[in-house]
Structure 1
Amino acid sequence: MAKSIVSAVLEKLGSLLMMPEEIKQNVELALALEEEIGKLTVHFQDIQSVLQDAESKQVKDGNVRNWLKKLKDVAYDVDDVLDEWKSAKLKPQLEKEEKEAENFPLFKKIRRSISSFTFQTVQYYNIASKIKHISQQLDCIANEKDRYKFGLEKEVEESRRLITASFIDEEEVYGRFEETAVLVNMLVGENSSGGSRLNVISIVGMGGVGKTTLAQLVYNRNDVECHFDKRIWICVSDPFDEIRIAKEILEAFKGESPKLVGKDNILQEIRSHVLGKKLLLVLDDVWTEDETKWEQLKNSLKYCSHGSRILITTRKEKVAIIMGTTPSNLLLLHTLSQEECWSLLSHRAFRGRTREESENLEDIGREIAGKCQGLPLAANILGGLLRFKSTREQWQSVLDSEIWDIEEAERDLFPPLSLSYYELPLALKQCISYCAVFPKDMALSKDELIKLWMAQDYLKGVRGEQMEIVGEEYFDELKMRSFFQLFKRDELDSDIVKYKMHDLIHDFLQVLMETECLMIVSNGFEELEVDLSCERAHHATLIRKEATPTEPNIYHLKKLRSLLIDSSYHDTSSLSPYLPKLFDQLTCLRTLNLTNSLFGNSIEELPDEIGNLVHLRYLNLKNNRKLKELPESLCELCNLQTLNLKWCDSLEELPSGIGKIINLRHLENERTDLSLMAMPKGIGRLTNLQTLSVFVATDSSNASTLGDLQNLMHLRGHLKISGLGAVCDVAEAKKAELQKKEGLRTLILEFTISKGSMSKRLRRRNDKVLLEALQPPPCLEKLEIWCYCSRTISPNWMMGLTKLRHASLGSCLHLDSLPPLGKLPSLESLYIGEMRQVKEVGVEFLGVEREETSALPSSSESPSSSTIAFPNLKHLEFFDLKEWEDWMSLTIGEEEHISVMPQLCSLTIGSCPKLRELPSYILQNTSLKQLDISQSPILSGRCRKETGQDWLEISHIPSIIIDGLCSQVNSSSVEEFGVLQLQPIHSSSISSKDFLKAFTQN
């Protein structure tokens, strides 16, 4: 970590030499700064050359660890000064732009310029003073390093690596029955040979999860042994020595060490030995990502017979892909179940004990097994330790200890985990180390974690990539190295994924970062005591178990760069009185998380002192539902990158000077449109914006217009535009140029009237033209249109959305016909709701015109000329179509040549009281797995079990639910397709009635 920080600081030091003109005019200040900057640079360069050796020695030498801590503290201080410098240079530029925009009178401009010049000069003198003080500190640290006799660029001392062999005692293995069966089938099953002569199969998982054990199990099975002519086991480890591996392969064939010299000679010999033989080669513990080291060896093995296999074990999914593993041949190995883990631990711990002794210790033993979190290596180590402890008191002591405080665990468990860490590049070490600040077992969002890394300046692209892209690459790399494991997908949006770290990896990181990352648990602020040695900690999570009126005593942690306040137990309202002092004291903060519990009392006002946090990059105010406004001082935070205002649904306006936060990249404001009256002028200046969740349109001259979206060319992801019901200027809509924003994936258009709009009348006649002007980019994947007021809805651009997967049309009260959505080739889910004029759904909805279908292809024409309507639709929902009577079927001739919804899995129909019957293409649809009908009495009667007219035609559907009652559930078929877990496919998490209520009140 120290090397990463020092490297980052050295990159930035040069920028200090590019001094503003006002400093250059002050010769004394300029010369002093240049001299101190030169000294800092020389010291850091000198120290950087020995940091690898220092970081390897810190594990065993407390003095070295303390020296590194002091070095990191100084490096952070320099980084903060550099940040102040950058901000001081930026503010005059912003003030100049603001004056020009405000069209100030000349005398006011001159007066403000003089004031600004004086203020800036004072700032530069303060910065120069800080640099001199830091330089003196670094002098001492540089002199102190010589006492430790560090080596230059010495390689990090690696933890010992075990050399494995193929032998195993199967009685010592618990669990893995399913994984063994899957792996054996990959090796010898009927479908295992595929089209390749030599398939590569990979077992991937974190250190200690049992990859080698599983490989040993299958390697020694009789059916595997009989299937292959030759089996060879090689422990590869790191570095990947292709010559050594090749010689070991030859030794396995010849029974003696080969005396050949030269790679080509060795590979030619391998080719002759494998020729025509069915080979199983196990390469255990592979680390290298250098494909060239593997390619030549693999080519020499390709002359074996069909059905040969290479089985590799690795911690890195990327290695498996590089070595040629296909997705179907990749086995991701997860942890053991709790019962399997207990069986493994108890087998070792109770060996040689009487039944009475074992029963006496079992309750504590099961709790100790829980500490292993399913990791076989940990269960083995703790089981072996407990074997030599005889009393309950001794077992209780193990249970009460942190796992890293146990000598045997630290000796035997620490090295396998540290191997994965020390093998990481510097940038990835920084990113994964930061995760020590989170509470154990916390579910992490990939996008949120990337923003937190970005706030700490960890994401530097070598080819000028955007930080978010670099962050995705880093996260994916860490996931492929088994540091993160998939936890769950969001129920309403499958693209939102949560990840977790294994508890032991988290514990390991906390050991490494024990003085940098604090976990402060307070049962009442008056009891909060933090060790003085942690006063220069840089990242902290405050978990408040009790909300008390006493002051949070964390002000002495003045070097904090991250403060994450966990409000899971209590809301943020009790913090309000202490926020001004907090913002005054903790001025080094780059990350501040004040997320509130969703329904708790929240902060009502953010104090002006927020403007003191000049380094702040990330501010999370999510769920502070009583927050009504943000102070203008927030706009002084020119370094702010992420501002999260999700569910701040009492917020009536954003600060008018928001255009000054020119580094803002993510403005997350979902649900604020329920209260926001408009968007402030200046939004168009935020040209770095990538996330703008909600834009509130209005006809007010005092607010931003749709045209201000024109400059936001980097917008990506999700954009909702509300308040369109008050927009009269179609030219402004065209000026927004949504079609050029190729990063957008979701677009929600609400033709409502915002609170701040001057006009309170509905403009029904303009909606059609306005919708045409709001053309989205062709790569859009999700489109929602709400409260649209024209009778037809089929803009010219709609059928060009060939990648559209999800669509919703809701509360379009004047719409009397549905658009031809069946033409959309990628559409997977469709919601149609709250229509008052739709009486019939005809074949036009399928995208098939009557005149087209009348000219049916002759029998001599190819069947490929047939039409497929809704070719990929899986989920369809109709809700609250009160006047809908007819859902038209195809004619006999049409049915022969038109395929409709061939992949439909679920159909939901609710509150359609006049709908008479389902069309034949639904009744006969064999792909349908769930039919749910409610508050539609005519249709419900036709579909009731045994008595309904249509029952025989729909009885093939595994799950049929009529008015909440299951008429038929075939659980095995339903579980196969997962349809019982289907959520409503419209995006709104509030009910349709609540949705209408929220907007009709405007």
Structure 2
Amino acid sequence: MAEALVSGVLEQLTAVAGEGIQQKVRLVVGVDEEVKKLSSNLEAIQAVLVDAEARQVTETAVRRWLDQLKQASYDIEDVLDEWNYAILKQKLEGVEDATGPKKKVCFFFPSYCFSFKQVSLRNDIAIKIKEVNENLDVITKQKERYSFNTMTRVERPEHIQTTSFIDVSEEMCGQDAYKSILIDKLCVSTEQRLPIISLIGMGGIGKTTFAQFAYNHDKVINSFHERIWVCVSEPFDEHRIAKAIIESLGNSTKDLSELQSLHQRIGTLIQSKKCFLVLDDVWSEDFKKWERLYRCLKNSAHRSKILITTRKKSVVEMMGSIDIIDVQGLSDDECWLLFKQLAFFGRPTEECEKLEEIGKKISSKCKGLPLAVKTLGSLLRFKKRWEEWKHVLDSELWKLEKIEEDVFVPLLLSYNELPCMMKRCFVYCAIFPKDYRLKKDELIKLWMAQGYVKEEENKAMEIVGEEYFDYLASRSLFQEFEKDDENNVIACKMHDLVHDFAQFLSKNECAHIEVDGSKEPLISSSNHEKVCHIMVTMYGEDLFLDSIFRLRMMRSFLNDTENFMATLPRDTMPKLFGELTCLRALNIAKRSHRNSLIEEIPKEVGKLIHLRYLNLSHLRIKKLPEALCELYNLQTLDISNCFLLEELPQGVEKLINLRHLKNDETRSLKYIPKGIRRLSNLRTLRYFVISGSNDEKACSLEGLKYLNLFGELRIKMLGNVPDVKEVKTSPLKNHENLVGLGLDFNKVIDGRERRNEEDEALLEILQPSSNLEKLNIRRYRGNTILPNWMMSLTKLRELALYNCDNCKHLPPLGELPSLEYLDIRFMNSLKSVSNELLRKENDDTSSSSVFFPKLKRIKFLWLREWEEWDHEITRIGDEEEVITIMPSLVSLEIYDCPKLKSLPKHLVQNTRLKKEISHCPLLGYRGWSQ
């Protein structure tokens, strides 16, 4: 990982020094030589790092030298970032208005950003550069004693395959006999009260996979009232486990802090219920802790079962389990089958035949461990030549005796093959607890915040981050992929052993800390300087780790606590912002908006000059401090679900590196500041609010044309547009990367209701790009919803029309070739749905014989005046032709349409259509609810 760090520092040094010269932010006389010397030292070290990182596994002295180098590199990163901050400040002293002349903006550069308050900014940076150079000098001289070989890593010349990973199913792992035995033990009655079934075996053998197979098996699901899954791991935290059980049963734990009350609640919830509890990855041999939990679980009904997975026989004995399944590795044939499914994926037959013999030798080294087979198979899938396979087979790593787990060798082989920046991305995942749901989008933004992901070859860093994610997934370093309706991966998890491996590599740089009030986890003075990234989970109130404030080099502080502020003393927030000034990523969000106690962000947030990622979602804040706009490096600001937030800071234009403003569900937001249009890097803006007061501080609708947004956007309060005639052209048409659009025509203007024709004219003007895939129109007052551009949306997949009260007819949506989902609600003037839904009225030129070709789901909800639905046609123009309507439809939902009496024949006769119809007097169809 030092290789990636040094490469990143060199790149940063070149960029900042060059920008400094260009912007005339020069340092004091003589420091130019220090910068050259710094670059020379880093290049000399970089030349030997491939050899050094290979030798650190077996040579303790080399490992210590690399640790020193990493700490020095972090210091250099911080100094260069301070220099870059000065450059950004100078750029912002004269801001070019997008619609007017250059204007002077006076900024105060806070002295607290630097530790030498008595000297000027440039002297301060110069002194720091000299100091880090002296430190690096020592490290550079020390490298000579190790006689490193000069080696150059050959990075992959080909582009990363963004959809290259295979999600291997459990069925591919063999061992069917174990599955059958486990299901029988879980579903067959026994006389023993609350028996414990144990899956035991070495790490990576597949114990968790078997447990998941059983947990989701239909026979098991039908045998129990409740199923509960808890990842235990180390330590055996009684409070966390008890809370996890309660939350799995659909109950809150916010009013429970004492262990006794937690256990009482569990006993009440499971009383007289057949429960199936999985305790995955148990390590603790503390009988007292286990006995307390087991005692409350006995309140469940007869035939309840507990399943544990563990690597330790002593745990099974301590728990008193008598049903033990000792999971053995895959057979040689099963190993080879799994290996070749991965390693030979997509290869020509003749190439597979050449590699088969050596492939069998490599798979046999995996000792029957499915995870090892997956890891090596995934690695070799991308190696084309026989010589590359032979290099893996003959690796010296197989000879290591002091490696922590047998499966670490295949993982280490795979890790060593990663491009250097991806190594940092992988190791960063050690910050999360085991079994944590890694959200892909959030993970990429955290990588970006640390500088692990940067723009490449004119590709945005978000795209590069997705490629990194897919590359790691293709090496089987991620698993349990969660996908959206469009089959895109949105989340995943890490195998327990892969997580152990990431922690092994991080060497205490990344940590997840749990605080339960009984004791404070120790961050020892000997290694606290190494800790750079922390996720904290706290149970109970008035808790905080004071030792965290010793971690002055910390770059990530992530909260995983239900109500973070409830656990903090009142003065902690200013102290957190004021002292941990090296932070790149900060998350103090709540998981939900309920009972949030954070109502104010202190001005000390402005001290976090290195910050790139700030998550404040679900807080009860009403405003953000202007000091936040001093965070010139900020890339992501998440204020989603801050329901009370009324306004954004006026200085938002200074956030010139902001890429993602996630403001979903900021319902109280009155307007978007005018300065937003100067943010040329902005890609995400979820809500755009039109001001109702003609405020000069507010951005107008036309201000959207200065941005280049990606993803989805909802424009609120379109009823506040003062004069539709002044909106000359569409501010949305050139947003080609916008795939989702919401248009909300709510609000009155000047005390009067908007006229119908004004909404119709505005809708016509708001033409989006033809790339649009989702469209939602709300509270529209026009009589028709048929702008000239609607039928040009050939990629539109989802359309929702809500509260369009004056519309008596639906637009001709049947000719939209990609439409899959149609949702119509609260259209109080709609009385009839007929042929105009399929095609334009009196359109005899249509050549289509299939209408709604891809439509899968329809919802008609709360249409109080809807009486008739009939579109039976058999003629187009002068030629009689059979018409096909909605051939792909699988779901029809109609709710609270009290006047609707009939349905079209093609829907009635569709036997495979799932119909959910209620609160509708449909003649002859009253019993429908399939």
Q: Following the alignment from structure 1 to structure 2, what is the Cα–Cα distance between the partners of residues 686 and 614?
A: 18
1:148 to 146, 165, 174: 146
Question: Which structure: greater helix fraction?
Answer: 1
Partner of 1:681: 674
**Is residue 2:850 matched to residue 1:868?**
yes
Q: Following the alignment from structure 1 to structure 2, what is the Cα–Cα distance between the partners of residues 815 and 84?
A: 58
**Is residue 2:508 matched to residue 1:515?**
yes
Partner of 1:174: 175
1:742 to 700, 717, 736: 736
Deviations 1:56-109 (A, max 9, x none): 222233332222111111111111111111110111221221799998999x98
Structure having greater relative contact order (Cα 8 Å, sep ≥ 6): 2
Q: Following the alignment from structure 1 to structure 2, what is the Cα–Cα distance between the partners of residues 407 and 569?
A: 45
Deviations 1:936-958 (A, max 9, x none): 1x11x52134xxxxxxxxxxxxx
Partner of 1:4: 4
Partner SS, residue 532 of structure 1: coil
Partner of 2:916: 932
**Is residue 2:608 matched to residue 1:623?**
no
Partner SS, residue 432 of structure 1: helix
Q: Following the alignment from structure 1 to structure 2, what is the Cα–Cα distance between the partners of residues 944 and 155?
A: 71
Q: CA deviation at 1:567?
A: 1.4
Distance 1:525 1:631, change over 3 A: farther
Q: Following the alignment from structure 1 to structure 2, what is the Cα–Cα distance between the partners of residues 119 and 701?
A: 40
Deviations 1:477-504 (A, max 9, x none): 111111112433458x875721111111
Q: Following the alignment from structure 2 to structure 1, what is the Cα–Cα distance between the partners of residues 789 and 726?
A: 18
1:709 to 698, 704, 710: 704
Partner of 1:919: 904
Distance 1:212 1:177, change over 3 A: closer
Deviations 1:126-180 (A, max 9, x none): 1111111111111222222223332222889xxxxxxxxxxxxxxx97328999x
Distance 1:494 1:653, change over 3 A: farther
Is 1:50–1:151's contact at 8 Å kept on the other side of the alignment?
Answer: yes
Deviations 1:740-763 (A, max 9, x none): 111111000100128xx7666434
The one-letter code matched in structure 1 to 2:795 is: K
**Is residue 2:683 matched to residue 1:566?**
no
**Is residue 2:866 matched to residue 1:884?**
yes
Is 1:525–1:551's contact at 8 Å kept on the other side of the alignment?
Answer: no
Q: CA deviation at 1:10?
A: 1.3
Unmatched 5+ residue regions in structure 1? Answer: 157-171, 180-205, 222-231, 253-280, 288-311, 325-405, 856-864, 946-959, 962-967, 969-1002
Give TM-score scaled by structure 1 length: 0.67
Q: Following the alignment from structure 1 to structure 2, what is the Cα–Cα distance between the partners of residues 422 and 81?
A: 30
Is 1:421–1:429's contact at 8 Å kept on the other side of the alignment?
Answer: yes
The one-letter code matched in structure 2 to 1:678 is: Y
The one-letter code matched in structure 1 to 2:503 is: Q
Partner of 2:522: 529
Is 1:780–1:804's contact at 8 Å kept on the other side of the alignment?
Answer: yes
Partner SS, residue 592 of structure 1: strand
The one-letter code matched in structure 2 to 1:95 is: E
Q: Following the alignment from structure 1 to structure 2, what is the Cα–Cα distance between the partners of residues 153 and 514?
A: 24
The one-letter code matched in structure 2 to 1:13 is: L
Partner SS, residue 835 of structure 1: coil
Q: Following the alignment from structure 2 to structure 1, what is the Cα–Cα distance between the partners of residues 69 and 565?
A: 38
Deviations 1:358-392 (A, max 9, x none): xxxxxxxxxxxxxxxxxxxxxxxxxxxxxxxxxxx
Q: Following the alignment from structure 1 to structure 2, what is the Cα–Cα distance between the partners of residues 19 and 244?
A: 50
Q: Following the alignment from structure 1 to structure 2, what is the Cα–Cα distance between the partners of residues 99 and 870?
A: 47
**Is residue 2:834 matched to residue 1:834?**
no
The one-letter code matched in structure 2 to 1:870 is: F
Partner SS, residue 79 of structure 2: helix
Q: CA deviation at 1:313?
A: 7.9
Is 2:538–2:567's contact at 8 Å kept on the other side of the alignment?
Answer: no
Partner of 1:34: 32
Bigger radius of gyration among the two: 1
1:846 to 823, 838, 850: 838
Q: CA deviation at 1:686?
A: 0.6
Partner of 1:48: 46
Partner of 1:195: none
Q: CA deviation at 1:658?
A: 0.3
Distance 1:43 1:758, change over 3 A: farther
The one-letter code matched in structure 1 to 2:576 is: L
Q: Following the alignment from structure 2 to structure 1, what is the Cα–Cα distance between the partners of residues 547 and 70?
A: 25
**Is residue 2:883 matched to residue 1:898?**
yes
Partner of 2:895: 910
Q: CA deviation at 1:449?
A: 1.1
Partner of 2:808: 816
The one-letter code matched in structure 2 to 1:129 is: I
**Is residue 2:470 matched to residue 1:501?**
no
Is 2:532–2:555's contact at 8 Å kept on the other side of the alignment?
Answer: yes
Q: Following the alignment from structure 1 to structure 2, what is the Cα–Cα distance between the partners of residues 525 and 104?
A: 59
Q: CA deviation at 1:470?
A: 0.8
Is 1:235–1:283's contact at 8 Å kept on the other side of the alignment?
Answer: no
Partner of 1:189: none
The one-letter code matched in structure 2 to 1:533 is: S
Partner of 1:452: 446
Distance 1:217 1:636, change over 3 A: closer
Partner of 2:689: 696
Q: Following the alignment from structure 2 to structure 1, what is the Cα–Cα distance between the partners of residues 406 and 848?
A: 66
Is 2:95–2:103's contact at 8 Å kept on the other side of the alignment?
Answer: no
Distance 1:540 1:898, change over 3 A: same
The one-letter code matched in structure 2 to 1:620 is: N
Q: How does 1:421-460 map to 2 (within 5 A)?
A: 421-460=415-454
Is 1:632–1:656's contact at 8 Å kept on the other side of the alignment?
Answer: yes
Q: Following the alignment from structure 1 to structure 2, what is the Cα–Cα distance between the partners of residues 923 and 40?
A: 77
Partner of 2:131: 133
Distance 1:792 1:508, change over 3 A: same
**Is residue 2:333 matched to residue 1:216?**
yes
Deviations 1:177-219 (A, max 9, x none): 999xxxxxxxxxxxxxxxxxxxxxxxxxx98779995771498
Is 2:786–2:811's contact at 8 Å kept on the other side of the alignment?
Answer: yes
Partner of 1:468: 462
Q: Following the alignment from structure 1 to structure 2, what is the Cα–Cα distance between the partners of residues 9 and 92?
A: 23
Q: Following the alignment from structure 1 to structure 2, what is the Cα–Cα distance between the partners of residues 849 and 105?
A: 55
Partner of 1:729: 723
Q: Following the alignment from structure 1 to structure 2, what is the Cα–Cα distance between the partners of residues 121 and 623?
A: 41
Q: Following the alignment from structure 2 to structure 1, what is the Cα–Cα distance between the partners of residues 817 and 107?
A: 62
Partner of 1:953: none
Q: Following the alignment from structure 1 to structure 2, what is the Cα–Cα distance between the partners of residues 572 and 648?
A: 17
2:404 to 401, 410, 415: 410
Deviations 1:861-917 (A, max 9, x none): xxxx66111110000000011011011141565795211101100100001000011
Is 2:430–2:499's contact at 8 Å kept on the other side of the alignment?
Answer: yes
Q: Following the alignment from structure 1 to structure 2, what is the Cα–Cα distance between the partners of residues 483 and 471?
A: 15
Q: Following the alignment from structure 1 to structure 2, what is the Cα–Cα distance between the partners of residues 632 and 692?
A: 20
Is 2:541–2:567's contact at 8 Å kept on the other side of the alignment?
Answer: no
Q: How does 1:485-500 map to 2 (within 5 A)?
A: 485-489=479-483, 495=488, 497-500=490-493
Is 2:432–2:511's contact at 8 Å kept on the other side of the alignment?
Answer: no
Distance 1:235 1:741, change over 3 A: closer
Partner SS, residue 657 of structure 1: helix
Distance 1:736 1:848, change over 3 A: closer
Q: How does 1:665-676 map to 2 (within 5 A)?
A: 665-672=659-666, 674-676=667-669
Q: CA deviation at 1:570?
A: 5.1
Distance 1:247 1:694, change over 3 A: closer
Q: Following the alignment from structure 1 to structure 2, what is the Cα–Cα distance between the partners of residues 43 and 131?
A: 13
Is 1:882–1:914's contact at 8 Å kept on the other side of the alignment?
Answer: yes
Deviations 1:614-662 (A, max 9, x none): 00000011111x1111000000111000000110111000001101101
Partner of 1:778: 770
Q: Following the alignment from structure 2 to structure 1, what is the Cα–Cα distance between the partners of residues 806 and 361?
A: 67
1:94 to 86, 92, 103: 92
